Amino acid sequence: MIRNVFIKEITEFARDGRVKIAFSIVIVLLGIATWISSRQYNSTNQQYAVAKSAERSIWNNQGEKNPHSAAHYGTYAFKPKYPLSLIDQGVDKYAGTSIFLEAHNRNEAQFSLAADQTGLARFGDLTPDFILLFIIPLLIVLLGYNAFTKEREMRTLVLIRSLGIAPWKLILGKWTALFLPILVITIVLIVSAGIILSNLEDFGVFKWSNLGILFLVYICYYIVFVNLVLIISSKSKKSSISLVLSLAIWIIACLVVPKAASNFAEAKYPYPTRQEFSANILKDKQEGLDGHDPWNKQAKLLEQKVLKEYNVDSLHQLPFNFDAYRMQKGEEHDAEVYFKQYKYLKSQFEGQTNVYIGLAAFSPFLPARFLSMGVANTDYSTHWDFSDAAEDYRIKMQAFLNNDFAKNSSHGNWSYKAEETTWEKLPAFEYAPPQLAEILSKNSSNIIVLVTWLLGSFAFLFITIKI
Amino acid sequence: MITTDNLTKQYGETIVLNQLNLSIGANEIYCLLGANGAGKTTTINLLLGFIKPTSGSAFINGLCVSEDYIKTKQYLAYIPENLMLYPTLTAVENLKYFSGIGGKNLNKSQSEDFLNEAGLQKNAFNQRISTFSKGMRQKVGISIALAKDAKSLLLDEPTSGLDPKSSNEFGQLLHKLKDNGVSILMATHDLFRAKDTGTHIGIMKNGELRQEYATKDISLPELEQAYLEAMNYKELVS
């Protein structure tokens, strides 16, 4: 019986011109979006490879130079595009791709794609995740809104009821027929993306397991929509009412709740303005040791402490360059200040994330969106991770340079120049994004919410539907 | 076997069916006559289990409809007044679908045999239903009932809107089914068709079964007279 219902529904879909047009549009859009995304992915990663190699070469070939000059000369930490960004670009466009690493300052990531675009970028981009998260649920609405209402309107439901089919079999037949085209589209996209990625050079090591999880996330998301649309269709008297209600659900889930969540999260856990943030950092820095200022109160205390520790009367008697030592201590203080201020930012970010998770009870879009970005390594959490890794590298880099300066020169000797070969001894910045297990663990709340939506909608569909 | 035992349906204070007792055995065609609102369709809906009785019971093949809603459908076929099928599917596809959900999967050849038996022209078998007349749709409905091989058949105004030829063919088909041991209950306004097709006739008014006849014991004019009297159409009786 389920098979009969399934075949009938699929035959009707296949003969319905509207369905054919909608399906074709989605396939064409997905093809174009994947092509654009793939070109962008390739181009960005080629730029990444060139920039990374060029920057390292510039660093290695500085020639003889004072290590602190080298610290100010600085270098860049570049973030590549990770393989699954081909499907979900997440916040990559806004988050910046490179961080300038220098003495005394933790810099923000810069050169974001959005910064290079005009105001027209506000219209958004045609990306696979846009099709997957917005357009396919809309396709589900268009395919399924009249699944039951058309039977009621055509009065075929009377004959169906007289034949004694169990309601759950009819539902399952219709459910399968509605879900199958969506499953096919998703499989085609995911397999195409997998094949493209397997044949492209990538900087995050493409894994089919990650792609498989991404596929599952989207499939769960679509199942929730299929269930919701069928529930609405079964409860509505007319197709027009069912269409309006289904579209309302789509608008609320995909547009209203995410935007409302953004406003609500920002209001509840506001980020400081850039000015406030910079002022807080400056204030904290001034309360501590300034590595460049020997007359600073904390610097004087450090001087006394070191003299006492080494049991000498003069800084010149120390076995190392105290200026470099002080700068290193200043760097350590600065790092603590940045750690404290960024920790506050992170706590605000986590607060905002929790607001999103709470509001996910009103929209399956939110957990699906966060999981998709997480698995694709394009979420804000991955960006934080990259930023932290870059900061960690910056701290080690400053320690390396200050130690070289301290060890190889004496107090007051600012004319010291490190050898040409010194720079290549500093290991290059390498960053590995969080692995799948860690991502899933971090997103456990989103997984729970999405699974709750999945099971809840299934239960509601099969328990409440009467034909 | 179709049976009702004091079957009653009431909406608020309004009684639409009052203590109906029917017993339609194998090889019998029972025609329910009555004006609109007499309770004919309510009786059929109660036998189908689409609505629940206020009191009394309906039985199909000895099974109570209220208690064995799904199981009674195994023994039952139903053709409504306006049989609606899927317009984008062909006659064969509609038949295969409805038979399938009724629990009987047919292949193409079997489907064509049933459509042929129901009297549908061969060139219409693979045409979409959207091009069919009401008579042709009814024939597909009959083929669904034939394919189901049900022991009981419920018909709600099945010949309304059919041309005389189609109506006559339909009557012949019912006779064939009756001879094969099927119990048939047909609600109709058509006295002539009831007399011509039925083995028994019941006249309903205001939810009550007023009179019952065996068709062999009554002529068409007598039936017409009895119907008009039962309906209280005094001016027409005179």
Look up the pTM and report it: 0.86
Tally the domains of chain B.
Answer: 1
pLDDT band at A121 (very low <50, low <70, confident <90, very high): low
Say which of B87, B101, B154 has its CB closest to residue A165. Answer: B101
Q: What is the pLDDT of residues B189-229, one digit of tens each?
A: 888 888 888 899 998 888 888 888 888 888 888 888 887 87
Please tell me the distance in Å from B129's CA to the nearest CA on chain A: 12
pLDDT (0 to 100) of residue B235: 55
- B48 contacts in chain A (CB < 8 Å): 161-162
Q: What is the pLDDT of residues A204-254, one digit of tens each?
A: 678 889 999 999 999 999 999 999 999 999 999 899 999 999 999 999 999
Asked if B148 and B102 count as a contact pair (C-beta separation under 8 A), the reply is: yes
CA distance B93 to B91: 5
- B73 contacts in chain A (CB < 8 Å): 162-164
Asked if A48 and A80 count as a contact pair (C-beta separation under 8 A), the reply is: yes
Cα dihedral sign, A434-A435-A438-A444: positive
How many CA atoms are closer than 13 Å to the CA of B32, on its beta-carbon side? 30
Say yes or no for a CB contact (<8 Å) between B101 and A4: yes
Say which of A15, A154, A164 has its CB closest to residue B73. Answer: A164
Say yes or no for a CB contact (<8 Å) between A163 and B101: yes
Task: Tell me the two tokens of residue A399.
Answer: 């320690």
Task: Provide φ and ψ at B232, rounded to 5°.
Answer: 70, 35
Strand order from edge to edge, sheet including B63-64: B14-24, B2-11, B55-60, B63-64
Give this complex's ipTM.
Answer: 0.84
pLDDT (0 to 100) of residue A248: 96
**For B90, which DSSP code?**
B
Whether the pLDDT of residue A457 is over 90: the answer is: yes
Say yes or no for a CB contact (<8 Å) between B97 and A161: no
- A159 contacts in chain B (CB < 8 Å): 78, 80, 83-85, 98, 141, 144
Task: Tell me the two tokens of residue A170.
Answer: 């009819």
Question: What's the domain range around B83?
Answer: 2-237
CA distance A81 to A44: 7
Pure H helices in A287-321: 297-310
The strand pair at B183-188 and B152-156 is best described as parallel
Mean pLDDT of chain A: 88
Asked if A133 and A363 count as a contact pair (C-beta separation under 8 A), the reply is: no
Q: What is the CATH number of the domain that holds B182?
A: 3.40.50.300
- A12 contacts in chain B (CB < 8 Å): 86, 88-89
**For B161, which DSSP code?**
T
Say which of A3, A4, A15 has its CB closest to residue B88. Answer: A15
Comparing alpha-carbon positions, the chain B residue that sits nearest to A1 is B101
Chain A contact residues (CB < 8 Å to B): 1, 3-5, 7-8, 11-12, 15-16, 154-156, 158-166, 169-170
pLDDT (0 to 100) of residue A135: 92
A399, A386, A464, A465: which is closest to A427 by C-alpha?
A: A399
Give, for all 238 residues of chain B, the pLDDT tens digit.
Answer: 889 998 899 998 888 888 889 888 888 999 998 888 888 889 999 999 888 999 999 998 888 988 888 888 888 889 888 888 999 999 999 999 999 888 888 888 888 998 988 888 888 889 999 898 888 888 888 888 888 888 899 988 887 767 787 788 888 888 888 888 889 999 988 888 888 888 999 988 888 888 888 888 888 888 888 878 777 765 555 5
Three-state SS at B113 = helix
